[in-house]
Each structure stands twice: as structure tokens, then as C-alpha cells.
């Protein structure tokens, strides 16, 4: 079992940065691929970014490529998403998730989820 807790959400102006940590506990952090997803009001949850167990492979949605960066700090059992040049359309609840195998863009492939953290980008 893996427990995930996101934090770092809040209100930020367009163009600004924000970093979201996802702290994990439970089974060995290093054996899991981690992903970030988001869900805006009235929309389906969508893939944002993912990183494999070693940190050597990452994947990003087209909408965030070049602006967002995912990394993992194994010593802290934490995965981060650094969000730069934020836009109002990035407003959403952001979730982190974990799965036992490689990265995936499908939420259905992730077995463990955090409770989410709200990010609001003002124009």
C-alpha cells in the first residue's frame, strides 16, 4: 500500500511559478512510477506529467511541455512538479498517483492516488 499526500496548491498570478510536492509513505517509493493529473471544473481528469521509478524517463502532456517539470527526490520519498509560466487554463485540482510499472498517461493504470490540491491561476 502507498499513501500519497499532495500540498503546495494555492492562488497564483498568470505567468508565475508554483511547485507541488507529493509525499509518499508505505511501500518502497523507488519501485513506483509516479504521475501527476489534474481536473478542472466540469472537465475530465487529464494527464499532466509522469516519471519512471529511477527518474531517468519523463513524459509530459503537450499543454505543459516546456513549462512544467517533474522530478523525484528518493531520499525524501517525494515527487515534485515544478510549474512555470502558469496560465488561467492550468487552474484545476492536481493529483499525484503511483503505479508499479512504467509511466502511463492513463489514469486507469494508476493504483494509488492522493486527495488532490487546488491550483488557481488568476489572469
| pLDDT tier at 1, thresholds 50, 70, 90 | confident
pLDDT tens for each residue of 41-98? 999 999 999 999 998 999 999 999 999 999 998 788 999 999 999 999 999 999 999 9
**Burial degree of 28 (CB within 10 A; 0-12, 13-18, 19+):** exposed
Grid cell in block for residue 121: 491561476
Cβ–Cβ < 8 Å for 21, 7: yes
d(CA 81, CA 93): 13
Amino acid at each position: 500500500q502507498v499513501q500519497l499526500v499532495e500540498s503546495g496548491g494555492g492562488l497564483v498570478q498568470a505567468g508565475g511559478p508554483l511547485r507541488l510536492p507529493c509525499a509518499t509513505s508505505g511501500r518502497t517509493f523507488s519501485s513506483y512510477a509516479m504521475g501527476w493529473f489534474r481536473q478542472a471544473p466540469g472537465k475530465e481528469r487529464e494527464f499532466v506529467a509522469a516519471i519512471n521509478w529511477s527518474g531517468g524517463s519523463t513524459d509530459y502532456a503537450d499543454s505543459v511541455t516546456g513549462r512544467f517539470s517533474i522530478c523525484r527526490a528518493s531520499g525524501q520519498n517525494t515527487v515534485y512538479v515544478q510549474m512555470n509560466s502558469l496560465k488561467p487554463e492550468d487552474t484545476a485540482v492536481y493529483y499525484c498517483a503511483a503505479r508499479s510499472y512504467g509511466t502511463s498517461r492513463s489514469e486507469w493504470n494508476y493504483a494509488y492516488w492522493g486527495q488532490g490540491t487546488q491550483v488557481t491561476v488568476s489572469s
